[in-house]
Amino acid sequence: MNVLVYGATGMVGEAIVGELLDRGHRVTAASRRGVGPADRPGLSVVAADVTDRASVGALAPGHEAVVTAVRPAAGEGPDRVVEAARSLVATLSTVGVHRVLAVGGAGGLLVAPGVRVVDDPDFSPVYRPFSLAHVDALSVYAASDTALVWTMICCPRVIEPGERSGRYRVGGEELLSDGDGVSRITNADYAVALADELERAAHPRARISVAY
């Protein structure tokens, strides 16, 4: 499969690129600076901004799916996540690309009926706007034309660099935690989960959660 990955230089994006290449997919790794992982067969590295609709329209054709793992740079506000969603929704179907997988945050997941992670009074006010940006991005995808098959794959409370075990669980709208109440996954195993969803297309037009 030929996959365009935006946000390819971040902790999560770089792991996704590596996992897809290991599976034999062809990957275009896009970032604003145009830098990326070490050169590997099947990898192209480009400078591109996902929020620039003309750029998306020029780059996306020929890819069978787009992955967005974008995050704001240091000093940027959370709007970039929402603008990325708007740009992809407005552009992809018009250029013949009908599949997008979005990295989502944990803040919008439920911990009780009607209660989200971000609704906890102890939730950090610093991270709240960024968590709500992922919720807003989900609304953008959900309102898109049905020709666009999207999946938002939400990480647990903690996602951190670590080894690949190939082990994870998939949930729905609820935050996943293990038997000790810990909600976490490594970036490598998150990438496994996303790549599996890319290949299996098991959750079209849905938000899912992954964790150990």
Reported as a single tens digit per residue, the pLDDT across 90-132 is 999 999 999 999 999 999 999 999 999 999 999 999 999 999 9
- Residue 154: pLDDT over 80: yes
Residue 154 β-bridge partners = 104, 209
pLDDT reported for residue 49: 96
Counting the structural domains of the chain, the total is 1
Domain harbouring 15, CATH code: 3.40.50.720
SS3 143: coil
Question: 193 lies in which domain range?
Answer: 2-211
Predicted confidence band of residue 22 (pLDDT cuts 50, 70, 90):
very high
- Residue 74: pLDDT over 90: no
- Residue 185: pLDDT over 80: yes
- Residue 75: pLDDT over 80: no
SS3 79: helix
Distance, CA of 61 to CA of 101 (rounded, Å): 16
- Residue 65: pLDDT over 90: yes
- Residue 36: pLDDT over 80: no
The answer to whether 185 touches 168, Cβ cutoff 8 Å, is: yes
- The pair phi, psi for residue 119, each rounded to 5°, is -80, -10
- The pair phi, psi for residue 203, each rounded to 5°, is -135, 70
pLDDT reported for residue 76: 82
Distance, CA of 117 to CA of 107 (rounded, Å): 5
Residue 207 β-bridge partners = 152
